[in-house]
Amino acid sequence: MKQHTANFDTKMKLIHGFSNKTRMQILECIKEEEKTVSQIIEETKGNQSNISQHLACLKGCGIIVGRNEGKYMYYSLRNQHIRDLLSMFDVVLEDVENDVACCDRHMD
């Protein structure tokens, strides 16, 4: 019952991986196929150092995996479950969308 703690921290780490705009852009970029760091940088119009750090973060979170080939590093989603989770966000988004969009107003 207190083994909960370790799992919980790992879960937070996992979720944290998804909670940044740049990281989500990277994930959407490699959702269908593996890409090299250069490709990711180009497609997301990101800064090399920044993208590299976010890739390290995503790898550390267990969301993506890297494959080395010569001087290139190919990154891809870890597995289908991750892909499913990404799709799930979109599903949940759909029924949340109308309400969330206007909730800055609700804040007052």
Partner DNA sequence: CACACATATTAGTAAATACTAATATGATAA
Partner DNA sequence: TTATCATATTAGTATTTACTAATATGTGTG
Beta bridge partners of 76: 65
The distance of closest approach from Cβ of residue 52 to DNA in the complex, given in angstroms and rounded to an integer, is 4
Do 40 and 26 touch, CB atoms closer than 8 A? yes
Q: Does 4 bind DNA (CB under 7 A)?
A: no
Q: Which helix (H) or strand (E) holds 40?
A: helix 37-44
Beta bridge partners of 68: 73
Site for a copy of itself, residues 65 to 84, rule: CB under 8 A? 78-79, 81-82, 84
Q: Which helix (H) or strand (E) holds 35?
A: strand 35-36
The distance of closest approach from Cβ of residue 49 to a copy of itself in the complex, given in angstroms and rounded to an integer, is 16
Site for a copy of itself, residues 3 to 22, rule: CB under 8 A? 6-8, 10-16, 18-19, 21
Q: Which residues bind DNA (CB under 7 A)?
A: 16, 19-23, 36-38, 41, 47-50, 52-57, 66, 70-73
